[in-house]
Amino acid sequence: MRLTLTLAIRMRAVIARVWLLAAISASVASPVASAADPVTTMPWREAVISVTHPDVTARFFKEIGGYEELGRGRLSASAIAAWGLDASASGEYLLLRAPMGGDFGHVRLVTFADAGRREPMRPGARAWDTGCYFSLMIRVKDMQSIYDDAIRLGWWTETPITALQFGESDLRVVIYRGPDGVQVQTYDRLSPALPEAIPDFERMTAPFNMMQMVVDRDVAYDFFTQVLGFDTFYKGKPYTAKTPTPTPIGIPLNLTTSVPYRAGIVYPVAGEFGRMEMIEVMGLDGFDYSDRCEAPNLGILAVRYPVEDIERAKATLLRRGGELSRDISRVVLGDLGEVALFSVKAPDGAIMQFFAP
């Protein structure tokens, strides 16, 4: 069984590479839009998280981070249809925003009813398991107090408070796991000071990054840069520790010197928010959950980016060889109103949605 799983993962990586070459060829041939032109020029507006009880999950954001409630209510029939669910299904949402404000980094908690069997998207959620979204990333201050509060609320941690040196930044990192397996990764930057572009905050910022665990970092990276036209914040070489050292993603301590991982971080436009990250753990074969990243399953369901022109965004993506997982439809989203929206999937199944009024 293990051998079959490994072969399946490797075969999917090969298929993804073939798909990617076609996508790159299409983008080169297109006279209308080059790969340097992003599908959107704005950071992602919101992360959509599928949970059992929105108010329970919301306590982490509201009680620790001081997030405010922007709205709540029933999911519209058009929103249900946009997830590909039967018309008999229903649902509710709770929309949250960090106290720093802004039209970015919102958290939309949704729950579905009468929509069929709900399962975790990433049961176990180890870093070497691929598919869907791994964690939502937030900058914080005073990591120890947040750690204590998270435990009090019934959340757990996948790692201890772990030191990470990223360039010149001295960071402390923790991955928290809450109800329904939802993971939030927090960064406390001890030095140097945070960029002035980040609005002042007391304990937690809005989410700024979304992490995926992928079969092949380069395949995922090329999808974001060549098909979506995103720019590069970071693309690193495979990394291993010189001595056994705890890692933020929880690689077993005795393997940190022999199991490398490589990361890439992209964004549609340079800035401190709206980033997407992909990490490949090289040499540990886990499970592939890329076929489970759909509603009503539990976990981080989607990231939504606004665009100025939905038809143009769709046409640009298709010219570069991209494919829609769901075509443009009119959807009523609570506290956003009626929008035109379409969905695409990253190579490892994570859903990205683009919308315009």
What are the pLDDT digits (tens) for 30-39?
333 335 689 9
Residue range 26-46: mean pLDDT, rounded: 66
Is residue 122 within 8 Å of residue 181, measured between CB atoms? yes
Average pLDDT value for the chain: 90
SS3 label, residue 43: coil
Domain residue ranges of the chain, discontinuous segments joined by +: 1-357
pLDDT at 29: 31
249-305 pLDDT, tens digit each: 999 999 999 999 999 999 999 999 999 999 999 999 999 999 999 999 999 999 999
> With bands split at pLDDT 50, 70 and 90, how would you rate the model's confidence at 124?
confident
139-174 pLDDT, tens digit each: 999 999 999 999 999 999 988 899 888 788 899 999
Token digits of residue 296: 């009503």
Cα–Cα dist 42/356, whole Å: 12
Cα–Cα dist 47/85, whole Å: 19
What are the helix (H) ranges across 30-160?
A: 54-59, 77-82, 143-152
Is residue 217 within 8 Å of residue 170, measured between CB atoms? no
Is residue 46 within 8 Å of residue 107, measured between CB atoms? yes
Is residue 120 within 8 Å of residue 299, measured between CB atoms? yes
Cα–Cα dist 172/178, whole Å: 19
pLDDT at 13: 41
pLDDT at 36: 65
pLDDT at 51: 98
* Virtual torsion, Cα 124, 126, 131, 134, nearest 10 deg: 100
* Virtual torsion, Cα 65, 69, 75, 78, nearest 10 deg: -90
What distance lies between CA 8 and its chain's CA centroid?
Answer: 24
Residue in 140, 181, 175 with CA at minimum distance from that of residue 160: 175
pLDDT at 34: 39
Residue in 297, 319, 313, 321 with CA at minimum distance from that of residue 353: 313
Cα–Cα dist 335/70, whole Å: 7
Which CATH class name applies to 1-357?
Answer: alpha beta
Is residue 110 within 8 Å of residue 75, measured between CB atoms? yes
Between 85 and 169, the higher pLDDT residue: 85
pLDDT at 35: 52
